[in-house]
Structure 1
């Protein structure tokens, strides 16, 4: 059998010690000692191959919160970046241009507010922009891109409109047969008002929020009828103590996502493997955390990927597992220590290895501490030093155009 790419000697998630072959951008075979030839063979002995990670909550579209995904994806293993409401009906064309220009996959959740997240907040205060009919038309016209509806429900976002933007989002989602992801935060409206409206398959993001503190009967009732709980860490949506209480109450998250955006990229989130380590730090097992970042988020939105089954897209992440006691911080500067972390060695999308990228400067409107600014400056200096030094010395070079041997006199 001829393959484009063959990984040998590693651990394949769900298959143990096995080889994995890729052909035409798809997983072609998984098994021990695969026979056949391959254009490229990659030795991954001692490493773990997982499906490319699926981040259910990111912001990569244009606007206040958006970031570029490729400079983070190549070093983190995240091959699917669900843009969670950066764009509404008025601004979806901008998100489509972003998605078309990235190496990673960018499915989207349409913001019920047609203006999306052009600004920091407040998109749900004008109900005229929360146009159900317009949202339905937009989803139907862009089914290749849109896989759900996003609604942010907190005091700043909706003002005096309470849960009405959510009702409109649910109506649009029902008409289109897609789920709703709802952001929870500072009341009013109350958490119970929000949760009581959700249907099986809808998603509560920031589920371990220290601000909303989702605990109590309404959370259990929502989980019991099939509402999904998503971490959605972000710059203010995750607290270790809340998650620990939820796990003790039988409310472990279904999915782990970053809510990675311009205000969380440089801390406290950093990337999805770091967020996954935070779940390991509170005692969740590795196989559960991996499922929460691969097959479960893919299934939640009906996305391809999240699996290494034959015929699946060859979106792959290669990790080294490191053991130790790794300090981690939540959105409120509480710390815990993870016994394990995933260090990305390579990321592939449709069988193509992602190349290293450097991200753009931080937008001027993003607040950073002096320590964050100093760290970014130090990183830039270190990178400049690394890249301006000659790659190798004379002993690492070949004489590509040898001089002719002088003739004897």
Structure 2
């Protein structure tokens, strides 16, 4: 048994989570036995040794954050796994390339010491985010080490990460992405590609993406973004969407713009997955703070609760090819997030410093993961 975190209750007997609301507004009780979903019944009808009345609370399958930085040794892009996982209502996090082949074993070993489920993208640079210009020297992309790491940790590595923006690649330009594309072909693993300031130009990046690849930071407001100044999407972006790329928010400190997000919504682009790109600095000081805070921004943008929650449950689980993580089904190991949606003014700030005022906020209240109920 892993170490018990704040508020944990071991589920050794039958537990009833009573009077919950599902995101479709239906109500019911979820009965758990020995860490598995025993059955779902009408509200107030569940029976068991322990009953927790959760009137006024929503439940979904456990939230999944497809883009985090969870290797605490690296600065600035690092944090403690459970701080950005179960303590925020997130049961599964996917580290987005914090580590390359040199340190991936350390990251995954740390995952075993925490409650949160941890998966990872492998940075194609063996040094990972030990430096923030990790693709500026092509010799740091070690083909053999990449292959060895993927073979050794095939159950945890879900893809390859390449950060393709000027501060990362330096004079290497677009070449790291060509190498990443070849590594993807050899391993049959998709790419997650970070976009940001040019060079390379965004059109060069888009041309190399294939079906199933993740384009993260797609709502960024930098000059090298995916929309013209009038809010129209670039034709190359629309072509890439037609090819089947996966769009991931990756909010972060510098990669989310309300104006761009509104343009995307007007053009019916997304919503595939909402992720935080969270690490210690933007968790404590903003503008990220938490997954729930980011989800509240998308309620403000006019997405329904079902659309917002799907983006951190079923959509993410389907991309990961782990559909069981995105559903509530009898017989499955318990994997649930419990949250509220509350009225009241909430200040929301994007990565450009633009402020908006929302009228609803999502608050994570707890998770059920494996055989524990953990309060947030």
Under a length normalisation based on structure 2, what TM-score does the superposition of the two structures give? 0.89
Contact in 2 for aligned 1:122/1:159 (Cα 8 Å): yes
CA contact (8 A) 1:3 1:37 kept: no
Find the aligned partners of 1:225 and 1:79 in 2 and give their Cα distance: 30
- CA drift of 1:126 comes to 1.2
Q: 8 Å contact 1:328–1:335 — kept in the other structure? A: yes
Dislocated runs of 4+, deviation >4 Å: 33-37
Between the two proteins, the alignment pairs up a number of residues equal to 354
* Aligned residue in 2 for 1:195: 206
- Per the TM alignment, residue 313 of structure 1 is displaced from its structure 2 partner at its CA by 3.2
Name the structure 1 match of 2:231. Answer: none
**Cα distance change, pair 36–18 in 1 and its aligned pair in 2 (3 A):** closer
| 2:44 is equivalent to residue 26 of structure 1 | no
Instruction: Report the Cα offset of residue 271 of structure 1.
Output: 0.6
Offset at 1:3?
6.1
Structure 2's unaligned 5+ residue stretches are 1-11, 228-233
Q: Following the alignment from structure 1 to structure 2, what is the Cα–Cα distance between the partners of residues 210 and 336? A: 16
* RMSD, matched Cα: 1.9
Secondary structure, counterpart of 1:144 in structure 2: coil
Structure number with bigger Rg: 1
**1:193-232 alignment, distance < 5 Å:** 193-211=204-222, 212-215=224-227, 216-232=234-250
- Render the CA deviation track for 1:189-235: whole Å, top value 9, x for unaligned: 01111111111111111110111321211111111111011110111
Separation (CA, whole Å) in 2 of partners of 1:38 and 1:108: 37
Tell me the secondary structure at the aligned position of residue 95 of structure 1: helix
Q: Deviations over 1:227-278 (max 9, x none)?
A: 0111101110111111111111221331100000123112010011100111
Structure 1 gap ranges (5+) = 357-409
Residue correspondence of structure 1 range 5-154 to structure 2 within 5 A: 5-13=15-23, 16-32=26-42, 37-61=47-71, 62-64=73-75, 65-119=77-131, 121-154=132-165
Could you tell me how far 1:282 is from its partner in structure 2? Answer: 1.4
Any residues of structure 2 matched to 1:303-342 within 5 Å, and which?
A: 303=322, 304-342=324-362
Q: 1:271 aligns with which of 260, 266, 290?
A: 290
* SS of corresponding position for 2:118: coil
Out of 264-273 and 345-354, give the one that drifted further.
345-354
Give the drift of 1:158: 0.6
- The CA deviation at 1:72 is 4.3
Distance in structure 2 (CA, Å) of the matches to 1:230 and 1:195: 14
**1:291 corresponds to 2:310:** yes
Corresponding position of 1:251? 269
What is the CA–CA distance in structure 1 between the aligned matches of 2:120 and 2:364, rounded to whole Å? Answer: 25
* Corresponding residue SS for 2:203: helix
TM-score normalised to the size of structure 1?
A: 0.82
Inter-partner Cα distance in structure 2 for 1:238 and 1:185 = 11
Q: How far off is 1:26 after superposition?
A: 2.6
1:4 aligns with 2:14: yes
Hey, what's the Cα distance between the residues in 2 that align with 1:95 and 1:72? 14
What secondary structure does 1:122 align onto? coil
Partner of 1:348: 368
SS at match of 2:252: coil
Residue-by-residue CA offset, 1:127-150 (whole Å, 9 max, x unaligned): 112123431221121012111111
Q: What displacement does 1:78 show?
A: 0.7
- Name the CA distance, whole Å, in 2 between partners of 1:25 and 1:177: 34
Instruction: Report the Cα distance in structure 2 between the residues aligned to 1:8 and 1:209, rounded to whole angstroms.
Output: 41
Alpha-carbon distance in structure 2 between the residues aligned to 1:355 and 1:11: 18
Relative CO higher for 1 or 2, CA cutoff 8 Å, sep ≥ 6?
A: 2
